[in-house]
Amino acid sequence: MRLLVTGAAGFIGSNFVRLALEKDSAAEICVLDALTYAGHISTIQDLIESGRIQFVEGRIQDHTTVDRVVREHRTTHIVNFAAETHNDRSLLESGGFIASNVLGVQVLLEATKKHGLERFVHVSTDEVYGSISEGEFSESSPLEPNTPYSASKAGGDLMVRAYVKAFRSPSVVTRGGNTYGPYQFPEKLIPFFITRLIDSKKVPVYGEGNQVREWMHASDHAAGVWTALLRGTDGEVYNVGDDNERRNREVVAILLDELGRDDSFVRFIPDPRKGAHDQRYSMTTSKLRSLGWSPSVPFEAGLRETIRWYRDNESWWRPIVDRPDYQEFIRAFYGPSLGEDL
């Protein structure tokens, strides 16, 4: 297998590359990543220096770069993790989300068609379904995204569907639930809160923290994508998630306990989003499980291990949170609510 993994200097993509090398030592892997604010070469530097992977800096919406990399690498499979991924950022500026999450997917699909690749896997999100008050979303549930981010991901999903229908593109889509683990950019809830609590700063919880999410470790998410790559059926969608619903305030309680902080470090704030915040996500994953996949990392144990990783690897995240662009985003989105806490 000659595998092109896009966005693999980021969180889930880097976990996937490590898993792929473990599962198939003969796999030849090229990583294409734009190294934007959430992509860091340090995440995969050891793999590059060891010669286990090739690395090319570039954007997936760049036709010329994608075509050259696919051709020169003699790619047989593409797994696409490259994306703008944060709901809150999409509320401040949505143009980049459309460019990466819709146009970029179309460019990769065109390369898949032009070069006759064996499979294209598009990694998407459960947020394309919107919010559900009870029950579970299935792969056939309607797409009802509620933010520019989730709408852009839904657009990419539909682009895959169109290429499958129009060109019989050998493609599948995975839709992952909320994911946590090492090397996650510290703007998402868990690493954002961990790094703030390490620095004895308060953490902002929207409303009363009753939003419900199903949390999955990055290694389990990566394994689900690997299963879809090898065993999925062209044109199908596979939900990837773990069956453990947690309210945000329950997750925060574990963070406080592991880091030796108390409730005084929590500030409940109004939701900065103008519209309704998705209250609950829940998906059935029976379709992917029927292919032999199942999550293996217990949530609380995995979360406490993740907290310890951030505590022990400050050299990875400290340069990120100290960057002016990171601080600017935090001030722009949370500043009026948290004031001098930032």
> What's the start-to-end Cα distance of the chain, in Å?
47
Tell me how crowded residue 26 is: count the other CB atoms within 10 A of its CB: 6
Active site residue 271: no
CA dihedral 178, 180, 184, 185 (to 10 degrees): 50
Catalytic residue among 33, 84, 127, 278: 127
Q: How many CA atoms lie within 13 A of 323 on its CB side?
A: 15
What 3-state class would DSSP assign to 90? helix
CA dihedral 217, 223, 224, 229 (to 10 degrees): 150
In angstroms, rounded to a whole number, what is the distance separating the alpha carbons of residues 222 and 244?
Answer: 18
Catalytic residue among 126, 157, 242, 258: 126
Catalytic residue among 33, 84, 129, 149: 149
Please work out, in degrees rounded to the nearest 5, the angle formed at the alpha carbon of residue 46 by the alpha carbons of 43 and 48: 95
CA dihedral 33, 39, 45, 50 (to 10 degrees): -30
Q: Which alpha helices (H) appear in the chain, and where do they start and end? A: 11-23, 45-49, 63-73, 87-92, 95-98, 104-114, 148-167, 189-198, 218-231, 248-258, 286-289, 299-312, 314-321, 324-338
Active site residue 183: no
Active site residue 314: no
Amino acid letter, residue 117:
L
Tokens 């919406």 found at: 61
Q: Which residues are catalytic?
A: 126-127, 149
